[in-house]
Structure 1
Amino acid sequence: MSTNKKRMVWVAAGVVAAFGLYQFAYGATVEPQATLGQSKIVLNKKEGAFPYRSNNYTMPEQASGAIAARTIPADYKRIGESNGLELYMASKSLAIMVKNKATGYVWSSMPADADLANANLNDEWQTAIKSPILLEYYTADEMLSNGSYLSLGGKVDKVEPIEQGMRINIEFAAIKAGLSLEVKLDGDSLTVKIPQSSMWEKGAEKLASIQPYPFIGAVHKADIPGYIFIPDRSGALIRFSKAHIQFDEPYVAKIYGTDYSSDSMDSATGRTSVPVFGVVHGTQQNGVLGIVEDGRYNAKIVAYPSGLSTDFYWVSPKFEIRYGYFQPTSKSMGGYNTFSKELLKTDRQVRYEFLGGQDADYIGMAKTYRSYLQNKGELTKEKKDKSKADIPLQLRLLGGETEASTFGAQVVPMTTFAQSKTIVDQLMKDGITNMKTVLDGWNKGGWNGKRPAEFPVESKLGGASGLKAFQKYLASKDIPLYLTNNYSIAFENSDLLNFRSDAVRALNNEINEFPYFGWGSDSFFDDIMARNINPGKALKLAKDDTESMKKLGVDGMALDWTGTVLNSDYNKKHPFTREQSANTYRELAENFKKSVKELAMYQANDYMWKYADTIFGVDNGSSQYMYETDTVPFMQTVMHGYIDYFANPSNSSSSPREDTLRMIDYGQYPSYLLTYEPYWKLRDTPSIDLLTTQYTDLEQPLTEMYKAMNQALRKVQDATIEAREVPDYGISAVTYSNGVKIVVNYTSNDYRYNGVNVKAKSFVIIGGE
């Protein structure tokens, strides 16, 4: 195809995509403003009810009777008591029970005898479920094996009382290893701890992982109504059900994502930004939230649905002690499997918070975790009255991008700084005055020309003087400007690093290296390799950049990847554990907070929230694994009213209509990725997958979407989410702390909610001033 014909095809595709985006998002009808905050947007009505029964949505709660509390057997002795809880332990099995005084409900670490008798369990799982600890270990021939307290000849060496609990010294005779298990009440929480100093090994076998009391809250089939909560992206539920398909694998997710220095590539999991999990026994009756504290940087959340290995639903943290890896011995991929000889030096602790009544659901869990972070100083509320202003829009502008050419890579200017001003001017004329303007590809070489982005500023965009002028203009409009950078990966053409010393190394001492553009359509980019940057070097690079930003007068930084991706570094000259990496990134963020007015991050893990004014690209969906029954806004409930959080760009959405309603449902602010130049100019760049970016194509749908979302969310910007009800399939009602309730109707039919009509594909606002 000739260049001219190819260009015509891309232009035509852009026009069709832009028109389709508008029509699909907003249909053809716009009504006058209705009462009670009724949206003026009426969307298409051709869908059936089936999509809203899928695990992409939240299911209505089914009414259930009161859940009967278990009786505490006589052989359980009380070992701790607080204002709200009583803690009991069985001396022989070491099983524990916790009584919630407020509700009278009893939680147990072991299923009831009747459930065990009715369960379809082989001998291995019989001993596992009756054990207080599950283990993985490496055998003498370096093979990974598993066992439990009972199967490995567990015995108690010593029992000693501690404040509000008990410390038990345990020996696993079969593998000549041992540890101490500390179980106690800490106020109205239960803590289970394994001190690092208590772990010992005297044989050839070496500990690999441990799960203490993994069956707390376990449920046989659907004998108790309720669900497991897992922190999959925005949040997901696994409801207890008697009828379900046969599952092949459990949910296993590394907290804070895969560690590419320690974990195998095939163990990569979805987004898990918070170290929590939970169980509900009867919605809004009884719940427990688990918070992984010490050891969370090297732990996983594991959840088993009924029918997979056992008839029980159960969820637990899995603390890693050692990692296995492949050690190559030749360039032809010869080598052998082995494991790290040094164990990870950290205590391991999980905290359990017990919930009752209205707080015993996933919203109550999110509120509990929100309070937990507040008390630790990791989540602070801005002292601003934002609910009197319009909601913010993330205006993400792509400046320069790199393009393959006969003479090597060159920069394609997609949005100069002068053109950026034109876009901002036009959006302000359209009534959008509250923007967070983010510049991607501001640097020499453009967006994907250099990683990390390097000063000086790209001359084809206007250079330093052009950027200064744009910054000054935005400041006059009270609009913050963010420069995007990534201090986690570097391309091999970077002048800022010495890869032998500055790149992260895996357990086998190989540099973490991967093809960054392997998916591209142009072979010019296929062999460009990226490497993870040592956290110490990343900190130095970021400090250097703060000085350059001060000279330019730029008042904001947007961190891409650096608040999200978390790796260890096994470089012997400057090693970093995963926890040390996280603390170094916290220091990096703190330094920026001292130097710039605004610090934003993309998809940040919760250890970075303390430093974030804004979080971009927050997931508003789950992974929709087969065993997941619901998607829920756990993350959004924790953050709302504390941190401004934004969705991914709406012009990259495959279903903008649904996503607009979901953003309203989840209290999430909108985002658009725009260019001044037509998007077909990206056809020979790594950003070829971007479609419909030219602002003139998107101005109308962007403005209409923003106005609808501003109408919905304007009054609740400072408020916290306090409750969420799903009265029917495809309907949600979110209650905020200031009394405002937002009811969203995803379906194709009008819905009557407490006497208020909610039109199809629309929303209403009830209450508020």
Structure 2
Amino acid sequence: MVKYAKYILIMFLFVMSVVVITYGYNQPVVGDQQEVETNFNYINQIFLESSRYTQKDQVDQAVLDAYHDDFILGFSSQDLLDLGFEEMFDTAELTVYFEKDSFSMIVYNKITNYLWSSRPEFQGLSGVREDNTATRNLMNSGLWVDYVRSQNVSSSTISTASLYTLAEAKYLTDGSMTDTQTDPLSPYQLEAGSYSNRRVATSVEKNSNTLFTVLIDLKEIDVKFEVQISLINGTLSVYIPVQTIEEYGDIYKLLSISIFPYLGAAREDNIPGYMMIPDGIGALVRMNKAHNTTFQAQFYGADFGYGSSSIAQLSVPIFGMVHAQEENGYLAEIEEGAEVTSLQAQYWGNNSRYHRIGSKYNVRRVFRYIINKAGDGNDTIDEALTESNFKINYNFLSNQNASYVGMAKVYRARLIERGVLTDNEKTLDNQIPIHLSYIMSDTEKSFIGSTSVVMTTVDDVYNSYQSFKASGITNQQIQLNGWSRDGFVFQAPYRSKIANKSDYQDLFETIKAEGNTVYLDNDYVQGSELTNRISYTQDVAKTLSRLKMERNYRSLNAQVTEVYYIYPEESYKFAQDDLDFYQDLGVSGLYLSTIGSTLFSYYDQQNYERQESMSYYQDIVSMYDQILLSRPNQYFYENLSGYLDMPITNAQYDYYSDLIPLIPLILKGSISYYIPYLNFNAMGEDRLLTMVDFGMNPSYLLTEEDTYKMRYTNASLYYTTTRSDYEEEIIETYEYVNGALSSVIGASISNREVLDTGFVKVTYSNGVMIYVNYNYEQKTLDGQTVEMRDYKVVLG
């Protein structure tokens, strides 16, 4: 009886709790609703003020006044002469001064009456000694080297030294500025005779009015090389020919050379402005906060050959700094040697009073040499130096060009001058392009071997193409995945085995006859244990540690697949073998999924650098007149027919202050670029507004069959693809985005302004202006009213 009583009591309590919860849910209070709405607006405002968006350039007037009054350099010609500087170049725009013993540079911008220094200026303002002699010697020299002892190679024993460090320079004062020590030159003045020419020797040869050469002999570590500095058409260039680097001793080995690591360094929060980092789609770091950290990443991504990894992806070899928006700035471009160069930044904090950004030219790197299967080994270096020269160009920006938009425009102009960018946007019937990718088939494991799972047939693609065309979408760029009998995910490089070849040929002819293009998916860089075409022993590349370049991929359903990187030479052979097949099939070109963003060193009887991979990959891409690449590095821009999967963010480090559309600013008007598949858009209409803001074209991944059918295939990672589920959305999305971007096809972005938080104005070269309002309220600014969460096009 007691048992039944307990049971009744438990049931009664359960029913009452449900009633209470239900009652609470169904009885909203008006005041609570208002609080929720208020909180929502507050949260959205905080979101718009985050680093996920570009922020308005506004500086407190007191800060700006203090900067103009106290933190703009005022060296006179006599000051520079007293510090040992010599005038090297003088043009209508710039005067360049150079001091050879410290390898320091002062650049005077005549347009804005502004001095740039390669040293951190305003030292000693705290009134006390700020750094020890070793740190001061790094700060006050514009050339650093990293090196190791030949008999003690290790990542932990790398030494960093400047010219002053090696010369054992000593200072007259402790560098502090006090009531009795007021000379602004004192932090840089050396004790007479303290710079040892027996340890370091520098000399300058004036080659012409536009070029001089610095001969550097680091006697202390037995290394010498030449640095050529030129000023042509307003661009200051620093060039190191690798053949001039000579190691004439046996004790030390050179690892890297850094040029002007403190150029434009900003002291604490006294210089309003920012650093531009080309991470992902683009990032800014505003110099108004202490971050107490550093940044380092290789251009063109991490090098798997060294086992390195990086969240940041620097696909273009540029960086920059602005001192007060639309006043002064510079853009630095690595024209040669970007594949062996790293970007480094340090932010104001406990270890430094300065924000700084610069590059490091890695002539060789430390890696692990493995001697047995247990993974034992030792750190070592390659005996040979890199084969890449190093050239960095500095463009000093004035007034309105002193911004991230100005930087992008300057770099875009350089690429156009070199023939890298041309007018190549995909346009048809004055419509923007849409990228529609179809999964034809994949394979799933069966009792014996595997079974093909057909998701879309050739007829299905044809019907879909005609259906979208009937809905008014005529500019379709079609991509077919899983077209080979091998399947799709992890099966590349695919064998040229195709069912119903004539059907494919007919489809391709139809699409091309109407001015559109159709691409087949393949991957010649990555394979896997499931690939039928590659040999693990012969084709899978080795790292410099002589280990196979492989990694494990774990799918959503917990399947683990070994993924491999293929020797670049073998990649080229695969691509060459397939060329006749594609040409006979009549396809427009290929989509290569990995080659665009992958670059690695490797071992194959000897060590090969990344430029060897780059050369093979460029040869592969150049085989085709039409090519699509995913997130490609800059060295592929000349070959691109379309840029897929454009990143919509960056690494989102906590010190990033703004997201900027750097890549769109460079490419708009020259190359059609597409957002990652909108099937997987978790940001809703916010993503559509970003597309309009950044000039990005839509992209979808589709199947005719229900996605559920491929649940046991590796393509299951694409968890929602059914065309019938998306057709209406695709049409609506396309019409919405096309309504804005069709008016700017072929036009470049001439300016982008954040008028207010979440309210952006983008101006194009054809005079069209597009206003984008990310806010949940109507905005009226610049004489234009834009509804909440919408855009407005104003024709020029």
TM range (shorter): 0.7 to 0.9
CA displacement 1:114-137 (0-9 Å, x = unmatched): 467668434432221112222222
Determine if the alignment matches structure 1 residue 301 to structure 2 residue 315.
no
Contact (CA 8 Å) 2:109, 2:115: kept in 1 or not?
A: yes
Of 512, 532, 548 in structure 2, the residue corresponding to residue 475 of structure 1 is: 512
Determine if the alignment matches structure 1 residue 561 to structure 2 residue 594.
yes
Counterparts of 2:490 and 2:222, CA distance in 1: 55
Determine if the alignment matches structure 1 residue 133 to structure 2 residue 143.
yes
1:204 aligned partner: 251
Letter in 2 for 1:469: D
After superposition, residues 68-467 of structure 1 pair within 5 angstroms as: 68-72=72-76, 73-75=79-81, 76-114=85-123, 120-139=130-149, 140-143=151-154, 144-149=157-162, 150-153=164-167, 155-163=200-208, 164-201=210-247, 202-241=249-288, 243-244=289-290, 246-247=291-292, 249-262=293-306, 264-265=307-308, 267-307=309-349, 309-382=351-424, 386=427, 389-448=430-489, 450-457=491-498, 459=499, 463-467=500-504
CA gap 1:586/1:449 in 2 versus in 1, 3 angstroms = closer
The alpha carbon displacement at 1:557 in A equals: 1.4
Identical aligned residues as a percent: 27
Counterparts of 2:136 and 2:662, CA distance in 1: 34
Counterparts of 1:683 and 1:291, CA distance in 2: 46
Contact (CA 8 Å) 1:387, 1:714: kept in 2 or not?
A: no
CA gap 1:74/1:252 in 2 versus in 1, 3 angstroms = closer
Contact (CA 8 Å) 2:100, 2:202: kept in 1 or not?
A: no
Contact (CA 8 Å) 1:238, 1:305: kept in 2 or not?
A: no
Superposition RMSD in Å: 2.2
Aligned length: 706
CA gap 1:644/1:337 in 2 versus in 1, 3 angstroms = same
Contact (CA 8 Å) 1:235, 1:631: kept in 2 or not?
A: yes
The alpha carbon displacement at 1:588 in A equals: 1.8
Contact (CA 8 Å) 1:175, 1:203: kept in 2 or not?
A: no
Contact (CA 8 Å) 2:572, 2:616: kept in 1 or not?
A: yes
The alpha carbon displacement at 1:540 in A equals: 2.4
Contact (CA 8 Å) 2:166, 2:200: kept in 1 or not?
A: no
Say which SS state the counterpart of residue 48 (structure 1) adopts.
helix
2:730 aligned partner: 702
Contact (CA 8 Å) 1:650, 1:656: kept in 2 or not?
A: no
Counterparts of 1:225 and 1:310, CA distance in 2: 17
Contact (CA 8 Å) 1:387, 1:718: kept in 2 or not?
A: no
Say which SS state the counterpart of residue 511 (structure 2) adopts.
helix
What stretches of structure 1 of length at least 5 have no aligned partner? 1-43
What stretches of structure 2 of length at least 5 have no aligned partner? 1-39, 168-198
Letter in 2 for 1:587: D
Counterparts of 2:712 and 2:125, CA distance in 1: 62
1:58 aligned partner: 54
Contact (CA 8 Å) 1:618, 1:648: kept in 2 or not?
A: yes
CA displacement 1:78-105 (0-9 Å, x = unmatched): 0122342211012443311111222222
The alpha carbon displacement at 1:363 in A equals: 0.6
Say which SS state the counterpart of residue 134 (structure 1) adopts.
strand
Say which SS state the counterpart of residue 412 (structure 2) adopts.
helix
1:28 aligned partner: none
CA displacement 1:157-212 (0-9 Å, x = unmatched): 43322223432222334423232233231331111222212222213221112211
The alpha carbon displacement at 1:579 in A equals: 1.7
Contact (CA 8 Å) 1:398, 1:674: kept in 2 or not?
A: yes
Letter in 1 for 2:205: E
The alpha carbon displacement at 1:257 in A equals: 0.5
Structure scoring higher RCO (CA < 8 A, sep ≥ 6) equals 1
Letter in 1 for 2:45: A
Q: Which moved more, 1:372-381 or 1:630-639?
A: 372-381
Contact (CA 8 Å) 1:402, 1:449: kept in 2 or not?
A: no
The alpha carbon displacement at 1:731 in A equals: 1.2
Of 528, 547, 554 in structure 2, the residue corresponding to residue 491 of structure 1 is: 528
Determine if the alignment matches structure 1 residue 48 to structure 2 residue 44.
yes
The alpha carbon displacement at 1:518 in A equals: 2.5
Of 675, 688, 692 in structure 2, the residue corresponding to residue 660 of structure 1 is: 688
Letter in 1 for 2:119: M
Counterparts of 2:781 and 2:451, CA distance in 1: 57
Letter in 2 for 1:761: R
Counterparts of 1:319 and 1:408, CA distance in 2: 50
Counterparts of 1:475 and 1:168, CA distance in 2: 57
Counterparts of 1:117 and 1:348, CA distance in 2: 38
Letter in 1 for 2:235: S
Contact (CA 8 Å) 1:363, 1:723: kept in 2 or not?
A: yes
Q: Which moved more, 1:327-336 or 1:282-291?
A: 327-336
2:764 aligned partner: 736
Letter in 2 for 1:571: D
Determine if the alignment matches structure 1 residue 759 to structure 2 residue 787.
yes
Determine if the alignment matches structure 1 residue 577 to structure 2 residue 590.
no
CA gap 1:88/1:319 in 2 versus in 1, 3 angstroms = same
Counterparts of 2:133 and 2:654, CA distance in 1: 28
Of 584, 588, 591 in structure 1, the residue corresponding to residue 620 of structure 2 is: 588
Letter in 1 for 2:770: I
Q: Which moved more, 1:441-450 or 1:627-636?
A: 441-450
The alpha carbon displacement at 1:337 in A equals: 2.0
Counterparts of 1:722 and 1:553, CA distance in 2: 39
Contact (CA 8 Å) 2:301, 2:310: kept in 1 or not?
A: yes
Q: Larger Cα Rg: Structure 1 or Structure 2?
A: 2
Letter in 2 for 1:583: S
Contact (CA 8 Å) 2:88, 2:96: kept in 1 or not?
A: yes
Letter in 1 for 2:134: E
Contact (CA 8 Å) 1:566, 1:582: kept in 2 or not?
A: yes
The alpha carbon displacement at 1:371 in A equals: 0.8
Counterparts of 1:342 and 1:77, CA distance in 2: 36
The alpha carbon displacement at 1:385 in A equals: 9.4
Counterparts of 1:547 and 1:46, CA distance in 2: 60
Q: Which moved more, 1:104-113 or 1:63-72?
A: 63-72
With normalisation by structure 2, the TM-score equals 0.85
The alpha carbon displacement at 1:542 in A equals: 1.7
Say which SS state the counterpart of residue 627 (structure 1) adopts.
coil
Say which SS state the counterpart of residue 554 (structure 2) adopts.
coil
Contact (CA 8 Å) 2:429, 2:474: kept in 1 or not?
A: no
2:550 aligned partner: 513
Counterparts of 1:611 and 1:308, CA distance in 2: 46
Contact (CA 8 Å) 2:490, 2:563: kept in 1 or not?
A: no
1:25 aligned partner: none
Counterparts of 2:41 and 2:269, CA distance in 1: 36
1:5 aligned partner: none
Counterparts of 1:113 and 1:47, CA distance in 2: 40
Counterparts of 2:647 and 2:688, CA distance in 1: 13
1:6 aligned partner: none
CA gap 1:553/1:197 in 2 versus in 1, 3 angstroms = closer
The alpha carbon displacement at 1:590 in A equals: 1.7
1:633 aligned partner: 661
CA gap 1:211/1:117 in 2 versus in 1, 3 angstroms = farther
Counterparts of 1:483 and 1:178, CA distance in 2: 51
Counterparts of 1:721 and 1:381, CA distance in 2: 14
2:177 aligned partner: none
Of 669, 689, 697 in structure 1, the residue corresponding to residue 717 of structure 2 is: 689
Counterparts of 2:445 and 2:350, CA distance in 1: 50
CA gap 1:120/1:396 in 2 versus in 1, 3 angstroms = farther
Q: Which moved more, 1:528-537 or 1:492-501?
A: 492-501
